[in-house]
């Protein structure tokens, strides 16, 4: 991550004012461990994270997509230091250890999950902080999208496209951001990962159609340097639903 030196000689990060996001993916087995996961995050992990100064924490399950059951946990951090120290701070919390004992102290023959994966992202300038959606109906859905690029230069160009024009079109056409993150550590790099929220799947289809037909989007997407063949090599997406205890 680049940094600059201000007039006083102090280091000032170019990411100042932007959040960092850890996105965890817990691969579970069907059965009682799904309930154990929910109880752990609801009663132990989220309260401890909040006491450690983190949040809001999102816990969402796969509604449409591969590897079900998989639970996604989104953890925002105000700084890289927060990310680096968060696990130790949470694990040192005695209330966390007590409330989460059934999940934390599982045996090798009866694990709580199959595997957990994690990626680290930094928010882009156009959406510097997580935007918590207003409470909606039980049918609300979150769309998690990943734009892969063939090079870091192309990845940065796609981020520039969002910052300078595409985000404004998103908002105007009903595509509501939750977060936009440039992946710093993770799989399928380089990539940009973002999350949108919709009242339901019908609203999702309607708003994407409005976006695709927008004259400003058509102009921007055909501008040399911003066309998909130049800067995006693959797009993947899946649909998530929040748990009853999710803070997002």
Instruction: Please tell me which residue, 156 or 5, carries the higher pLDDT value.
Output: 156
Helix (H, G, I), strand (E, B) or coil at 119: strand
Written as six digits, the tokens of 27 are 């691969």
The predicted-structure confidence for 33-75, as pLDDT tens digits, reads as follows 999 999 999 999 999 999 999 999 999 999 988 888 999 999 9
CA angle 63, 67, 27 (to 5 degrees): 105
User: Is the CA virtual torsion 28, 243, 122, 158 positive or negative?
Assistant: positive
How far from chain centre, in Å, is Cα 195? 6
- CB-side exposure of 30: number of CA atoms within 13 Å? 3
- Residue 5 is predicted with a pLDDT of 43
The predicted-structure confidence for 75-124, as pLDDT tens digits, reads as follows 999 999 999 999 999 999 999 999 999 999 999 999 999 999 999 999 99
Q: Is the pLDDT of residue 217 over 90?
A: yes
Written as six digits, the tokens of 98 are 């007590």
Q: How far is CA 58 from CA 39, 178, 179, 218, in A?
A: 15, 10, 11, 33
Q: Give me the percent of the chain exceeding a pLDDT of 70.
A: 93
Instruction: Please tell me which residue, 129 or 64, carries the higher pLDDT value.
Output: 129
Q: Is the pLDDT of residue 22 over 50?
A: yes
- As beta bridge partners, residue 12 has 4
Q: Residue 1: which pLDDT band, with cuts at 50, 70 and 90?
A: very low
Q: Looking up tokens 């993947």, which residue turns up?
A: 236
- What distance in Å separates the CA atoms of residue 248 and residue 230, rounded to the nearest whole number? 34
- Residue 10 is predicted with a pLDDT of 41
Q: Is the pLDDT of residue 13 over 70?
A: no
The predicted-structure confidence for 177-186, as pLDDT tens digits, reads as follows 999 999 999 9
Q: What is the mean pLDDT of the chain?
A: 93
């Amino acid at each position: 991550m680049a940094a600059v030196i201000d007039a006083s000689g102090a280091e000032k990060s170019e990411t100042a004012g932007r959040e960092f996001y850890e996105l965890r993916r817990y691969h579970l087995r069907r059965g009682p461990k799904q309930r154990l996961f929910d109880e752990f995050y609801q009663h132990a992990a989220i309260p401890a994270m909040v006491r450690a100064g983190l949040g809001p924490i999102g816990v969402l399950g796969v509604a449409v997509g591969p590897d079900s059951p998989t639970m996604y946990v989104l953890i925002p951090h105000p700084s890289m230091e927060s990310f680096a120290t968060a696990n130790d701070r949470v694990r040192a919390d005695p209330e966390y250890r007590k409330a989460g004992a059934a999940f934390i102290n599982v045996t090798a023959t009866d694990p709580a999950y199959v595997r957990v994966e994690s990626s680290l992202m930094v928010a882009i300038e156009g959406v510097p902080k997580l935007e918590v959606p207003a409470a909606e109906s039980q049918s609300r859905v979150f769309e998690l999208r990943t734009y892969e690029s063939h090079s870091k230069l192309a990845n940065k160009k796609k981020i520039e496209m969002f910052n300078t024009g595409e985000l404004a079109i998103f908002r105007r056409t009903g595509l509501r951001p939750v977060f936009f993150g440039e992946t710093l550590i993770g799989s399928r790099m380089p990539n940009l990962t973002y999350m949108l929220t919709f009242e339901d799947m019908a609203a999702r289809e309607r708003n994407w159609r409005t976006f695709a037909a927008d004259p400003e989007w058509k102009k921007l997407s055909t501008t040399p340097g911003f066309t998909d063949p130049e800067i995006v090599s693959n797009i993947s997406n899946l649909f998530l639903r929040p748990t009853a205890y999710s803070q997002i």
